[in-house]
Every structure is written in C-alpha cells, then in structure tokens.
C-alpha cells in the first residue's frame, strides 16, 4: 500500500512538473521560431496542454492494468 501511494505521489509530481514546464516552453519555442503569437493562440496552447494532463496522469495506471491483464492471460 505504501509503495502504491509513493508511486502515485511520484506520478503526480512528474505530471504537474511537466505540465508546468510545457506551457512556458511551448510559448518560448514559438517566440524563438518567429511564429506570431496572439492572445488567442496562447490561450489555445495552454488549454490544449491542460487537456492532456489527465491522460498523462492515467498512463501509469493504464500500463499497470495492461500488464496485469497480460499476466492473467498467460496464466489462462
């Protein structure tokens, strides 16, 4: 139980850190590449990065379920 909770905390930390880094990194990269940015495009980029937060958070759980299913199918 402790190990599972520790994995969840690490997953949350990585997910929130990546999400926090990706927003300014995406905007900085666009500015560096010379892409004209409007307020709308910046809001859209931030919204899109917020939308992928949940799938990124659930990816380790999904992979764990796939692994458990493969193990069960091997036993059968």
Say whether pTM exceeds 0.75.
no
Note whether 31 and 37 are within 8 A (CB).
yes
Confidence of residue 1 (pLDDT cuts 50, 70, 90): low
DSSP conformation class of 1: -
Is residue 29 over pLDDT 70?
Answer: yes
pLDDT for 50 equals 76
Domain encompassing residue 63: 2-75
Question: Total domain count for the chain?
Answer: 1
pLDDT for 36 equals 83
- Give 9-17's long-range contacts (Cβ < 8 A, gap of 24+): 11/57, 11/60, 12/57, 15/53, 15/56, 15/57
C-alpha–C-alpha distance, residues 41 and 14, integer Å? 26
């Amino acid at each position: 139980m402790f190990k599972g909770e520790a994995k969840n905390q690490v997953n949350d930390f990585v997910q929130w850190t990546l999400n926090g880094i990706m927003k300014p990194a995406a905007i900085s990269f666009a500015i560096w590449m010379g892409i004209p940015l409007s307020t709308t495009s910046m809001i859209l980029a931030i919204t899109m990065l917020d939308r992928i937060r949940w799938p990124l958070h659930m990816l380790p759980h999904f992979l764990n379920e796939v692994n458990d299913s493969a193990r069960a199918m091997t036993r059968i």
